[in-house]
Amino acid sequence: MTAATATRERFRRLEAFADGRLGLVLVFVWGFAEATVWPIIPDVIVGLLALVMPCRAVRLFVAMTAGAVAGSAVLWVASIVAPEAVHAMLLALPGIHPPMLADAAAAVAGGDPLSMAQLGPGTPLKVYTWAWAVGPGVPTPLVAGVILNRIARVGPVVLVMAILGSAAPAFLRRFDRLVLAVYAVAYVALYAVYWS
């Protein structure tokens, strides 16, 4: 097998994963986990899969958002039942600190779902969910806030990756190792800065 054939085969496997049920399950689970306790946002995986299989970007984004809504619902209930325990759990996660919790509580105090929409790195969704549970408390606007948060925070990454994947599929296949390495290094650097 030549190097070019091996590269095409690797890329085909990644495409099949992005196109299949396992890809949807992974992004749903990642969205759920990040909305509760996982510290790495799902755009890491959804962006990669959208880059590899741009025609499935919307489907992957919807699955990730559904996971985020489900995870936020679980965290909301936990925060209603045991707010101090959830507060302590959040503070034990990297990148979350007391001023962030206070700022999120102030932001959502009015009960406006738009207060959870945020572009770029910033306050994790789980912090907004906890703040919503101990503040406004009403679940229906929280669901809207979670969806708006995912659209504003993860949507641009998915859109850019899908555009790049559509514009340069031959480049991606030819330089898959380089693309994956750059993608991984970019996220490692982002989190190193964000968590410091």
Q: Lowest mean pLDDT: which of 71-75, 77-81, 86-90, 170-174?
A: 170-174
Residue 184: its pLDDT value, please?
87
C-alpha 62: how far from its chain's center?
A: 11
- CA neighbours closer than 13 Å in the CB half-sphere of residue 17: 15
Q: What is the pTM of this model?
A: 0.89
Residue 8: its pLDDT value, please?
64
Residue 196: its pLDDT value, please?
65
Residue 12: its pLDDT value, please?
80
Per-residue pLDDT band at 173 (split at 50, 70, 90): confident
Average pLDDT over residues 35-50: 92
Q: 150, 40 in Cβ contact below 8 A?
A: no
Q: What is the DSSP letter of 20?
A: S
Per-residue pLDDT band at 166 (split at 50, 70, 90): very high
Per-residue pLDDT band at 120 (split at 50, 70, 90): low
- What CA–CA distance (Å, rounded) separates 67 from 24? 10
Alpha-helix runs per DSSP H in the chain: 3-19, 21-36, 43-52, 57-81, 83-91, 98-108, 125-134, 139-153, 155-167, 169-174, 176-194
Average pLDDT over residues 98-115: 92
